[in-house]
Structure 1
Amino acid sequence: MRDDFRETGTAGQAHEAVDETLAAEPQRIVDTHLHLIEPERFTYPWIASEPSLQRTFDLEAYREEAKRLGITAALHMEVDVSPGLVEAEAVHVTGLGHPIIGAIAGCRPDLPDFPKQVERLAALPGVRGVRHVFQGKPQIYDSPLLVENLRRLSSLGLTFDLCVLGHELPLATALAAQCPEVQFILDHCGKPGAGPLDAWKTDLATLARLPNVVCKFSGLISYAAPVHWTLQDLRPAAEHVITTFGWDRLVWGSDWPVCTLTGSLTRWVAATHVLLRGSTPAEQEKLLATNAERIYRLA
């Protein structure tokens, strides 16, 4: 990372709340991590532990704010619905229209029926990748089918989003190394946590050495900072992610509406623009839009 990127924009801003007017920047944004929560349509067992998310967050609630912020397209990220509803969720969200132009569907790559499931998902127009949340489930890596099943994704033209906790990065690295033909996207910068970053930095750098892994510039306000965060809280993790993966291997995600637990879509976009100050317009365009179009085959 250049010295001007490391230093620009920090003085007088590092300990201040984000100015939301900074969100209205001219850059085009492709959001690779939009969740829609519709409890009248689907069930989400995990939401029982998140009272603030126990209501409807539909496309209409997202669309107006996203348009104002320059988000021109979005990928829907599976929301860990009840197992029997995974394919129904993918069908539903890919039929909603602008700005959703594709989806990352749920799946179970550790189970024997994965080959048939993923073939059905790949046949759905708009499905660009799949995900199963691995975080907090170290036993999933012991599945004798996991590597074999994930290797099927390449021939189907599907990516796999890795959702792991910071201390689980070595497990993710070992898995991705066994599937060199599969394109992996690390969600939420590998969830570094709000504490000391040394172990996360080392493990992230090791993962980044694998050419088949890219990183999603998302989740920092939820996983790398306290609830009442400032730019100073976000900057160490953000700078390490950009330095480690480089401008060609980063995509942007909102993590809406999870981002509303510690801020808002507008605040996260504004923070992103400040964190990217000092980089060139071409570099910003890659992280905010064109990398996503290439990696998820959106163009």
Structure 2
Amino acid sequence: MIVDAHHHLWRDDQGYAWLDDPNLTPIRRTFSPTDLRAELAANGVDRTILVEGGRGDTGEARLLLGYLADAPEIAGVVAWADPASPTLLETLAGYRALPGGDRLVGVRAQIQGIDDPGYLDRDDVRLGLRAIGDAGLAFDLCIRADQIAAAARAARDLPSVRFVLDHLGKPAIRDGGLASWSADLATLAGRPNVTAKLSGLATEASWKTWTADDLRPYIEEALRLFGAERLMFGSDWPVCLLATPYAEWVSVLTSILPADAREMVFGGTAERTYHLTRD
């Protein structure tokens, strides 16, 4: 059972402001369930986790959960919610009341866009994170490398919350930022309630010239710190298309991971972390 733990779907009329960046022209178009299913079939992927796409509003959840009817491979949805919002519980209840709401498996916020590296230390944020955990949901950490230290403190202080680090915390691969990233990652990985996604790495490298050897030290360090049982494969499709086709990312990750790690990374960890059920 192969699980892609991180991908997106969007329509070009849905108001994703971040796609207005001229560098993102190649992905400024509709990506539909039909497009997704073609990629999954071509790469032998059985199930997926659909993740919010940075729109930053509650209306997106209805769209994402609605895709379940057209793509049965979607085993779970990670929807947007603001952990500091006083109406967080009402938002989560509303999501679960939607068609497909039983497939809500997690919450994510675009913390990477917040200047404060200590945002996750705030009392109101911590209160919301605890509520997300109490609701049985994972919290995806969409953060920059300089926010990893605060994430480690949050994971230490909230041991009942399942935290998922997206894109390994976005290390500065194109700038050779291995050492500083690794030090903070080691602290975060020391928290047993944290898992991490091997996703989004090619787009942190030089889009046109990266090689597998550029990514290898980061993947191997993550494997050393987390172990295969707390790492999961994610394509970050279609964002990954800025730097790599879906098939190439699967091939590169397979070539770097040792054979005895692949079963967990390519499926087992995601199933356990997101509490996926086998239909």
TM-score exceeds 0.5: yes
Answer with 1 or 2: which has the greater Rg.
1
Which secondary structure state, in structure 2, belongs to the residue aligned with residue 88 of structure 1? Answer: helix
For residues 102 and 96 of structure 1, the distance between their equivalents in structure 2, rounded to whole angstroms, comes to 14
Matched, 1:36 2:9: yes
User: Residues 145 and 170 of structure 2 are in contact (CA less than 8 Å); yes or no, is this contact kept in structure 1?
Assistant: yes
Q: 1:225 to 1:179 in 2, by over 3 A?
A: farther
- Alignment RMSD: 1.7
Alpha-carbon distance, 1:84 to partner? 4.8
Change (3 A) 1:186 1:142: closer
Of 85, 105, 124, 1:128 maps to 105
The CA distance in 1 between the partners of 2:56 and 2:126, in whole Å, is 24
More helix by share: 2
Q: Which runs of 4+ in 1 moved over 6 A?
A: none
What percentage of aligned pairs have identical amino acids?
34
User: How far, CA to CA, are the matches of 2:102 and 2:32 in structure 1?
Assistant: 21
Give 1:177's aligned amino acid. Answer: R
Is contact 2:3–2:267 with CA below 8 Å preserved after alignment? yes
Query: What aligned pairs does 1:154-193 form with structure 2 within 5 A after superposition?
Result: 154-193=133-172
User: How do 1:129-144 residues align onto structure 2 when only pairs under 5 Å count?
Assistant: 129-139=106-116, 140-141=119-120, 143-144=122-123
TM-score by length of 1: 0.85
Gaps of 5+ in 1: 1-27
C-alpha distance 227-101 of structure 1, shift in aligned 2 (>3 A) = same
User: In structure 1, what is the equivalent of residue 247 of structure 2?
Assistant: 266
8 A Cα contact 1:45 1:82, kept in partner:
no
The residue that corresponds to 2:218 in the other structure is: 237
Q: Give the 3 Å change call, closer, same or farther, for CA 215–224 of structure 1 in structure 2.
A: farther
After alignment, is 118-127 or 55-64 more displaced? 118-127
CA distance in 2, matches of 1:234, 1:227: 14
Q: How far apart in 1 are the matches of 2:235 and 2:177?
A: 24
- Of 246, 249, 259, the residue aligned with 1:279 is 259
Which one scores higher on RCO, CA 8 angstroms, separation ≥ 6? 1
Residue of structure 2 equivalent to 1:21: none
Q: How many residues align?
A: 268
- Following superposition, the deviation at residue 48 of structure 1 comes to 1.1
What is the letter of the counterpart of residue 259 of structure 2? S
C-alpha contact (below 8 Å) 1:191/1:224 kept by paired residues? no
Q: Which amino acid aligns with 1:39?
A: D
**Structure 1's 86 and 137: CA in aligned 2 closer, same or farther, altered over 3 A?**
same
Cα distance, 1:156 vs. partner? Answer: 1.5
Aligned match for 2:19, one of 44, 47, 50: 47
Instruction: Tell whether 2:86 aligns with 1:105.
Output: no
Residue identity matched to 1:279: A
